[in-house]
Structure 1
Amino acid sequence: MTTLRTATRNWFFPPTALGRVAAMRFLAGVFLMVEWWAYMPYIFMHRFVPEELYQPLMIGRLLPIPAPNYWIVTGTLIVILASALPMMFGYKPRLFGWILLAAYMEWMIIANSYGKVDHASFGFMMLLAMLPLMPEAKWGDTETLSERVGWGFNLVQIAVVFTYFLSAFAKFRYGGFGWVNSGTLTWALLRRGTDLSSWMLDYPWMLRASQWGIVIFELLTPIVLFVGKWKKIQYAIVAFFFCFHITVFAAVTISFLPHVFALSCFLPLERINPRDLARKARNRLRRNGAVPPAQSKGAETKEEAELAS
């Protein structure tokens, strides 16, 4: 019983380095900086949509949230960008994280209250909900471990994985075996196919096999949650997830970018230290003569001198 309790605690609260928190805060901010104009620009265009077309989600009906108009949509975007910038660079990340979460929830209500509900942002929403609960962190901190951080990222990982798993469940719930045995991908390629995928229309058997492969893949994704002890296997599975999304985008130009950003919390990003990378790059340029020593700022540290020698 004690062994089971310990194993369960280690699974739910795996000690995780604080450096990963700093990296994920930065990545979340990067996505938010590009989402509104490059990934989902239609959300910002809702400021011109008549209020009569607004069909709020349940949370929008329960909370006293007014129908989006020009100023509500614009103001929400301004709050998102203004709070994401200090959070991603580590200035009062918990305070600005809470502000960002509230604003982004309104942003998602605006995005999904006009007849179309996306599921690609579920894991990213969970990431934004967990980041304010985590302590302040610095890039490259691999020494300081926290069970709270492990618990938070574990919840994000569960949300990411169940985005896949419940997607397969929804396919069978609404389409039955017709989803995997009919022309689902044929229809998708006719509408959104690219030069890299249109050739598959000549091979219907390949498209049907791909449909079965997609569903089997989605049903098996929870495996990645239980191989944490074997990091190489876990990283290989996560790499396959990334390749899957690249393939989907190349085939039908459907992107799950916020989901992919949330998926990054599986990776050991705490090993990345931008200062160390910049220092090594600068010293490499000095060795190659690209940067004269006279242009360096101040005297070299002992470590930099050793690297440059």
Structure 2
Amino acid sequence: MSAQQVGTSRGSRWVRATANWWLPTIPLARVAVFRVLVYSFVIVDILKFLTDVIPHGYQIELYQPVLIGRVLPFPEPSVGYAIFLQWSIIIACIVAMTGYLPRISGFAVAVLFLAWLENSQGFSYVQHDHMALVLATWVLPTVGRARFYDERSSQAAGWALRMVQVATIATYFGSVFSKIASNGWSFIAWPNSSVFTWAFMRRGSDLITWTLNYPWLLKSAQWGLYIVEVLSPVVLFLRGRWLYLAVGFFFLFHFATYLSLGIHFLPTVMCWFAFLPLEKIPYALRRTVNRFQAAR
């Protein structure tokens, strides 16, 4: 075999490997379960966390739309428009969770939820913890019909969840560049700063304020978080037990952050489920129900 043929063969293998990574074949049942988690949380999100959209209708003079709000023809804030958005999102999410008309109902959720977020962020702080969740609402409808016990495998399903995975990791890895840019493009300024001290003094609970007596511990924690964010893309290439350990670590990290500072980051936490074999849940629930019925 000539050198040119060897190079072509290697190039073909690289292309196939790349395509297989972006288009993995996964069970459609995994999408069916993940779809329920995402659309359920969107309802909780607009009713519990992003509750400022309706009040914004009374303060339209403060509205300064973000870029996407200036590019897309979203209506200006009003109370009536916000109430319409809220009920439309809830209805569309319920329909999308059932799997009925998955593309129509799913894209309806995507457009309406984006409009809700644009309104919310157009008045104040832009919350980057919603990036993966917003992307999930846009890619899930592309899969089409998926049932809880659907044993068929699909590359369309694999691509959709891969995109959610990438967006989830980008939330952490992207924050590294934000930390660098906001500190004069220094790679070590943020982990050597006193940001944890400031945060714990400002809003720390009794579970964490004791660390203020140990500056070296706070500095070590900052470096630890910084290194985790830098290395976060590694999670995209983990498999099996190592992947589950990594997902569990991030779950515990956000749980500890909530207990310590009251910061939940739940929109991103929900997207971590895209890494897990969710298709096993319906079968596990059915076995549990059958055992309970047999015991009676």
TM-score by length of 2: 0.91
Letter in 1 for 2:213: D
- CA contact under 8 A between 2:64 and 2:123: conserved in structure 1? yes
Query: For 1:165, which of 146, 155, 173 is the aligned residue?
Result: 173
Runs of 4+ in 1 over 6 A off after TM superposition: none
CA offset at residue 42 of structure 1? 2.9
CA offset at residue 195 of structure 1? 1.6
- CA contact under 8 A between 2:54 and 2:79: conserved in structure 1? no
The answer as to 2:84 corresponding to 1:75 is yes
Tell me the equivalent position of 1:42.
52
> Structure 2: where are the runs of 5+ without partners?
1-9
Partner Cα distance (2:19, 2:286) in 1: 38
Partner Cα distance (1:101, 1:251) in 2: 33
Tell me the equivalent position of 1:221.
232
3-state SS, counterpart of residue 140 of structure 1? coil
Tell me the equivalent position of 1:243.
252
- CA contact under 8 A between 2:32 and 2:148: conserved in structure 1? yes
Query: For 2:269, which of 256, 260, 277 is the aligned residue?
Result: 260
The answer as to 2:31 corresponding to 1:9 is no
The answer as to 2:57 corresponding to 1:61 is no
TM-score by length of 1: 0.87
CA gap of 1:13–1:123, structure 2 versus 1, over 3 A, is same
- CA contact under 8 A between 1:47 and 1:74: conserved in structure 2? no
Query: For 1:88, which of 87, 94, 97 is the aligned residue?
Result: 97
Letter in 1 for 2:201: L
Tell me the equivalent position of 1:22.
32
The answer as to 2:164 corresponding to 1:156 is yes
> Structure 1: where are the runs of 5+ without partners?
290-309
How many residue pairs get aligned? The number is: 283
CA offset at residue 271 of structure 1? 1.1
Percentage of matched positions with identical amino acids: 35
Query: For 1:139, which of 136, 141, 148 is the aligned residue?
Result: 148
Greater shift after overlay, 202-211 or 34-43? 34-43
- CA contact under 8 A between 1:17 and 1:144: conserved in structure 2? yes
- CA contact under 8 A between 1:140 and 1:271: conserved in structure 2? no
- CA contact under 8 A between 2:43 and 2:90: conserved in structure 1? yes
Structure 1 vs Structure 2 CA RMSD: 1.6
- CA contact under 8 A between 2:204 and 2:260: conserved in structure 1? yes
CA offset at residue 278 of structure 1? 4.6
The answer as to 2:188 corresponding to 1:180 is no
3-state SS, counterpart of residue 52 of structure 2? helix
3-state SS, counterpart of residue 124 of structure 2? coil
3-state SS, counterpart of residue 182 of structure 1? coil
